[in-house]
Amino acid sequence: MTPSATPSATPPATPPDESAVEAVAEPHEPGPGERAARDRVRAEAAGMTHPGAREALEAARAAGADPAVVAEWQRIEEHLVDHGGPYSPASDPYVQGQLTARSHHDAPRTPQPARNAALTLPAPGPPAPFRPS
């Protein structure tokens, strides 16, 4: 029996399901594992130009990488098509938008009694007497 025919042999990688990649690419609140996968891809992509990102995307697809990894490589590759320079998370508008949204979401909320008080109308009083001019 050859080593590749043994039951313990690792099967060849299958490309990730494209519908799973598309689902991960849709706007949603990512879980901790997905955030970590995106962060790893962004760190690896730092300094890459479009051809390098395209090669990394194809390698992730060929290796059957997690759909979150493939979706992030795909997003970065599409970003670099028009960017013209090396990738940097600091200049990636998508990443900066996520960081801003997360900071607003995680910020402590304080009640706004002054705003709520301004919405309350005073109780109506007696009508003013009519005075002809």
Q: What is the pLDDT of residues 53-79, one digit of tens each?
A: 999 999 999 999 999 999 999 999 999
Is the pTM here over 0.75, yes or no? no
In a domain, 116, yes or no: no
% residues pLDDT > 70 (the chain): 71
Enumerate residues 6+ apart whose C-beta is below 8 A from 13.
62, 63, 64
Q: How confident is the model at residue 116 (pLDDT cuts 50, 70, 90)?
A: low
Q: What whole-number distance in Å separates Cα of residue 71 and Cα of residue 66?
A: 9
Query: Which of 8, 7, 25 is CA-nearest to residue 16?
Result: 25
> Residue 19 has what pLDDT?
76
Mean pLDDT computed over every residue of the chain: 78
CA distance 22 to 45: 20
Q: How many domains does the chain have?
A: 1
Q: Determine, yes or no, domain membership for 130.
A: no
**pLDDT in the model for residue 9:** 42
Q: How confident is the model at residue 2 (pLDDT cuts 50, 70, 90)?
A: very low
Q: The domain containing residue 69 runs over which residues?
A: 14-105
Alpha helices in 8-92 (DSSP H): 18-25, 32-45, 50-62, 67-83
The gap from C-alpha 58 to its chain's centroid, in whole angstroms, comes to 21
Amino acid at 16: P
Q: Does residue 109 have a pLDDT over 60?
A: yes
| Residue 5 pLDDT class (50, 70, 90 cuts) | very low
pLDDT exceeds 70 at position 12: no
Instruction: Give the integer Cα–Cα distance in Å for 6 and 28.
Output: 41
**129 found inside a domain:** no
- 24-28, 42-46, 74-78, 89-93 — which is least confidently predicted? 24-28
In a domain, 120, yes or no: no
Task: Check whether 50 has a pLDDT greater than 80.
Answer: yes
In a domain, 63, yes or no: yes
